[in-house]
Amino acid sequence: MGTVNLVAASTQEELALVLDVLTFGEIEIEGRLADASNVALRGELALGDIRTRVIYKPVRGERSLWDFPDGTLAAREAAAFALSAAGGWNLVPPTVLADGPLGPGSVQLWVEVAEGASRSLVDVLAPADLAPGWLPVFEAQLADGSDVVVAHADRPELASAAVFDVVINNADRKGSHLVLDQSGSLWGFDHGVGCHVEPKLRTVLWGWVGQRLPEAELARLDALAGWLSTSASPLSQTLELLLSPAEIQAVSGRIAGLLATKRFPAPNSRGPAVPWPPL
């Protein structure tokens, strides 16, 4: 069998197979993503007759960060997938912690993206070019003094991603971390700096601040709150292997906060609200 697209798994049984393939398959490294801040390697993974491309981020290739414990980014990537899948967001491609050629790390399915996929979601525009259906985030000036606005599309799946980012406390939601695949489905990447106890939300998706959360998002949050309230749930048991007890409790606290206000939050004043660069 040639390369297959396991991202298309649509049932729990198919997803379980995908996770087994990612966990137990062997990776042959094809190359490194040169623009990644940590070591991110593309490879072909094989298990029996199944072959697929993956992104492998070994723990030993993580650079030290002043505000995140060393050696935890790969686990946070896997935790983001677990929360995305359990909450029904299906934003994060299947991701596991597994052993690879350079030791333990995160292994995530590779998604083939459509050309210009990020710019159709988040972009830097001249103010006059801000079209209906786009929401401004902030204004800035380029080096030549021309005015620009960073904006994102007003799309339901992007609003859903914004809720997910609050739940995981995503500290680095750049525009380039959101893409559309060739079928038009939205995917999000690079969640290693998430799930911290302290508020660290930095995102380009601020266009819905103060608006009421959609009922579908409230239902997701309510279900997640229920699963996290018992240590016997599969989600709780998975997260216990990936995050500290305090970090899991903080996830529950953020969910409770969203359920209490029922609105998209505003940026806090503890640090920058938007990652740099924003795209």
- CA angle, 265 as apex, 260 and 266 as ends, to 5°? 145
Do 250 and 203 lie in a common domain? Answer: yes
Q: Point out the domain boundary residue: 86, 109, 132.
A: 109
Q: Higher model confidence: residue 54 or residue 34?
A: 54
- Dump pLDDT digits (tens) for 181-230: 888 899 999 999 999 999 999 999 999 999 999 999 999 999 999 999 99
Q: Is the pLDDT of residue 6 over 80?
A: no
> Which distant-in-sequence residues (6+ apart) come within 8 Å of 185 by Cβ?
none
| Residue 216 tokens, joined | 């579908």
pLDDT of residue 2: 45
Do 89 and 134 lie in a common domain? Answer: no
Do 94 and 151 lie in a common domain? Answer: no
Do 138 and 216 lie in a common domain? Answer: yes
Do 128 and 102 lie in a common domain? Answer: no
Do 105 and 133 lie in a common domain? Answer: no
Percent of the chain with pLDDT over 70: 95
Do 102 and 11 lie in a common domain? Answer: yes
Query: 224 with 253: CB under 8 angstroms?
Result: no
Residue 46's domain comprises 6-109
Q: Is the pLDDT of residue 18 over 70?
A: yes
Q: Is the pLDDT of residue 8 over 60?
A: no
- Dump pLDDT digits (tens) for 74-104: 999 999 999 999 999 999 999 999 999 999 9
Q: What pTM, to 2 d.p., does this model score? A: 0.93
- Residue 240: Cβ within 10 Å count: 12
The confidence band for 168, taking pLDDT boundaries of 50, 70 and 90, is: very high
Say how many domains are in the chain: 2
Between CA 56 and CA 225 the distance in angstroms is 31
pLDDT of residue 5: 52
Of 56-60, 80-84, 116-120, 237-241, the poorest mean pLDDT is in 116-120
Do 158 and 220 lie in a common domain? Answer: yes
Cα of 235 vs its chain's centroid, Å: 17
Between CA 269 and CA 70 the distance in angstroms is 26
- Dump pLDDT digits (tens) for 116-140: 665 789 998 999 999 999 999 988 8
Q: Is the pLDDT of residue 10 over 80?
A: no
